[in-house]
Amino acid sequence: MELATVIMVPAREDLTAIHGAHPQAQPLYSSRMPILGNDVLRAWMKRIRTLGVQNLWLTSTPANGRGTWFALADFARQGIERFLIIKLKSYAELDLADFVSFHRESRNSVTEAQDGRGLLGVSLLDRAALLCDKQLESQDAGERNPYEFRGYAKRILSARERQELVGDALIGACSMRPRGTEIRKQVWVGRDVQLAESAKIIGPSYIGERTVVRAGATIGPFASVERDCVVDCGTAIERSTVLPFSYVGPGLLIQHKLQDGRYLVDLLGGEVGGEVADLQPAGLGNRIPFHGTARQESRRTPADEPEHAGAAAWGFAPFSTASQPWLQVQM
Amino acid sequence: MGFCPLFDRIATLASGADVKNKLATILSFPGTSTSASRSELRGHFLNALRVSESPVVIDFSGCNTLNHDDIDLLIECAARVSGRDREVRFAAGSRVIRVLLEVTRISSIVPVFDSVEEALAIVQVPRMDFDDAGQSPDSGEYL
């Protein structure tokens, strides 16, 4: 096989490693959290399909990447010539075919994609690079030939960049589109949304499936309330994101924030993640447990599954050769 | 504290958590919120309103989070001074407390500062009356 593709979903402990975020940020959002109903993993899979690749392996990166490296080396020994490795930490509208062509033409063993803000977590490795003793991270920068990407990219594990992606997708400044029905200009809602008559929706904004918006609440502008949330009476959500299964208490003003269950990140508070406030003691926010009805269960999509369980829902087959759990996806 | 002579004067009077003089009353919000500690703070607050006309500053620097009883108390404090010639200010101490005061909209009814020093730095100087020569009748005693 000439090209194999591996997507690495950062494990929770990887969040702090990647972003140096406050340890309190660990229970927060992950790369698998939907963005306007979209799964970034699926967005990458769609791009990978354009390469005509038949097999994709999915793995969760541990804090220590040595296991992953050894597993890739195992694949290389089995005859795979080249690996496209995507760390699921960014959304990038990358032309993978062009990326592969660049790698071939540059004749380097390792090519990494980067933009003006640094590496995007997308790299191509030749078999030779894997079979040498040095890991990718320990190789000299001189041995790498970066692929300069000038298109649209955002680091989705950064709360601030994530919100920038939401804003851009809502106004059509990137190719991501909200998953739902556009009920009026720049206002999208998912299925089974319950909006109180007195609730006000200001575009651009998005309300995900089964979310309940109670009386007097205001959503928008530039707000994303993902699926299965409850926004209580009188609360205003502006330029913010509420992640799935979150309860937002009554009478609140959520501006420039990211809420994940009981936790609230201030998007203006710092470069990475900002400060994390706990809303639960004040009864202002919480995680809504999933108590799906049979009807809801039948409608669940793979993206509805909890993190790390989604692979099974997509029919991923466990791959046992590797030293850690790997899942093979038939494209 | 050199940048704020006003705070210097208050600080020299400090003995324990609470500081009180004619310029401002500083009350420390309890780090561990209990019914008793809230009741005590409420008592101090009401007493400060009763005995002094100076602003009351509630200092959250020893506090990591707020629960719903705390928020009820803060709203009561704001309500107590509302419509009266009195003022309460909050010194958030941390970004987390400031965020909680913002999302509950308390910051829209009570001025919130990062620290006690900042809260005191804008304590209003009493209005001065000048004589015909432009001299203050009690110059040097603004504070």
Q: What is the CATH number of the domain that holds A73?
A: 3.90.550.10
Give the pLDDT of residue A61.
67
Fold of the CATH domain B5-121: Transcription Regulator spoIIAA (3.30.750)
Return d(Cα B97, Cα B114) in angstroms, integer: 10
Contact state of A253 with B94 under an 8 Å Cβ cutoff: no
Return d(Cα A317, Cα A328) in angstroms, integer: 5
Do the beta carbons of residue B65 and residue A281 sit within 8 Å? Answer: yes
Q: How far is A224 from chain B (nearest CA, A)?
A: 17
Return d(Cα A138, Cα A320) in angstroms, integer: 27
Give the pLDDT of residue A284.
95
Q: Nearest CB to A282: which of B94, B100, B102?
A: B100
For A271, residues 6+ apart whose C-beta sits below 8 A from its C-beta are: A160
Instruction: Sort out which chain A residues have CB atoms less than 8 A from B104's CB and list them.
Output: 251-253, 282, 284
Residues A108 and A164 in one domain: no
Strand-pairing partners, residue A223, are A205
Residues A63 and A138 in one domain: yes
Q: Which of B31, B28, B29, B32 is nearest to B14 (CA)?
A: B28
Strand-pairing partners, residue B88, are B56
For B14, residues 6+ apart whose C-beta sits below 8 A from its C-beta are: none
Which stretches of chain B drop beneath a pLDDT of 70? 1-22, 123-143
Residues A49 and A163 in one domain: no
pTM for this model (two decimals): 0.81
Residue B100 near chain A (CB below 8 Å): yes
| Domain enclosing residue A124, as ranges | 3-157+309-330
Instruction: Sort out which chain A residues have CB atoms less than 8 A from B67's CB and list them.
Output: 281-283
Residue A23 near chain B (CB below 8 Å): no
Contact state of B68 with A283 under an 8 Å Cβ cutoff: yes
Contact state of A281 with B67 under an 8 Å Cβ cutoff: yes
Return d(Cα A160, Cα A256) in angstroms, integer: 9
Strand-pairing partners, residue A58, are A7, A327
Return d(Cα A284, Cα A261) in angstroms, integer: 10
Residue A245 DSSP code: S
Do the beta carbons of residue B27 and residue B42 sit within 8 Å? Answer: no
Residues A132 and A184 in one domain: no
- The H-or-E segment that residue B59 falls in is strand B56-59
SS3 state of residue B142:
coil
Parallel/antiparallel/unpaired status of strands A276-278 and A253-255: unpaired
Do the beta carbons of residue B56 and residue B85 sit within 8 Å? Answer: no
Instruction: Sort out which chain A residues have CB atoms less than 8 A from B70's CB and list them.
Output: 282
Give the pLDDT of residue B12.
36
| DSSP H helical ranges for chain A | 12-19, 40-49, 66-77, 96-106, 127-131, 159-170, 294-299, 310-313
Residues A212 and A125 in one domain: no
Q: Nearest CB to B99: which of A251, A266, A283?
A: A266
> CA-CA distances (angstroms) from residue A327 to A8, A250, A311, B69, B138?
11, 42, 7, 48, 82
Do the beta carbons of residue A34 and residue A227 sit within 8 Å? Answer: yes
Residue B102 near chain A (CB below 8 Å): yes
Tens digit of pLDDT per residue, chain A (331 long)?
688 888 887 765 444 443 333 434 444 567 778 999 999 998 999 999 999 887 788 887 665 556 677 778 888 888 888 999 999 889 999 999 999 999 999 988 899 999 999 999 999 998 888 777 555 555 555 456 799 999 999 999 888 999 999 999 999 999 999 999 999 999 999 999 999 999 999 999 999 999 999 999 999 999 999 999 999 999 999 999 999 999 999 999 999 999 999 999 999 875 444 578 999 999 999 999 876 554 454 444 444 444 333 333 333 333 333 445 677 777 7
Query: For residue A131, how far is the Cα from the chain centroid?
Result: 30
Do the beta carbons of residue B2 and residue B35 sit within 8 Å? Answer: no
Does the model's ipTM exceed the 0.90 cut?
no
Restricting to A residues 263-302, those with a Cβ less than 8 Å away from any Cβ of B are 264, 266, 269, 274-279, 281-284
Do the beta carbons of residue A210 and residue A193 sit within 8 Å? Answer: yes
With tokens 């602003």, the residue in question is: B55
Residues A61 and A172 in one domain: no
Return d(Cα B5, Cα B11) in angstroms, integer: 10
Q: How far is A253 from chain B (nearest CA, A)?
A: 5
Return d(Cα A167, Cα A111) in angstroms, integer: 31
Give the pLDDT of residue A31.
75
Residue B50 near chain A (CB below 8 Å): no
Tokens of residue A227, six digits: 């699926």
Radius of gyration from C-alpha coordinates of chain B: 16
Residues A22 and A117 in one domain: yes
Query: For residue A90, how far is the Cα from the chain centroid?
Result: 7
Q: Which of B83, B43, B90 is nearest to B63 (CA)?
A: B90
User: Which amino acid belongs to residue A198?
Assistant: S
Contact state of B103 with A279 under an 8 Å Cβ cutoff: yes
Residues A168 and A257 in one domain: yes
Residues A7 and A135 in one domain: yes
Residue A238 near chain B (CB below 8 Å): no
Domains identified in chain A, total number = 2
Contact state of A257 with B68 under an 8 Å Cβ cutoff: no
Residues A34 and A177 in one domain: no
Q: Which of B71, B116, B111 is nearest to B91 (CA)?
A: B116
Domain assignment present for residue A296? The answer is: no
Domain assignment present for residue A292? The answer is: no
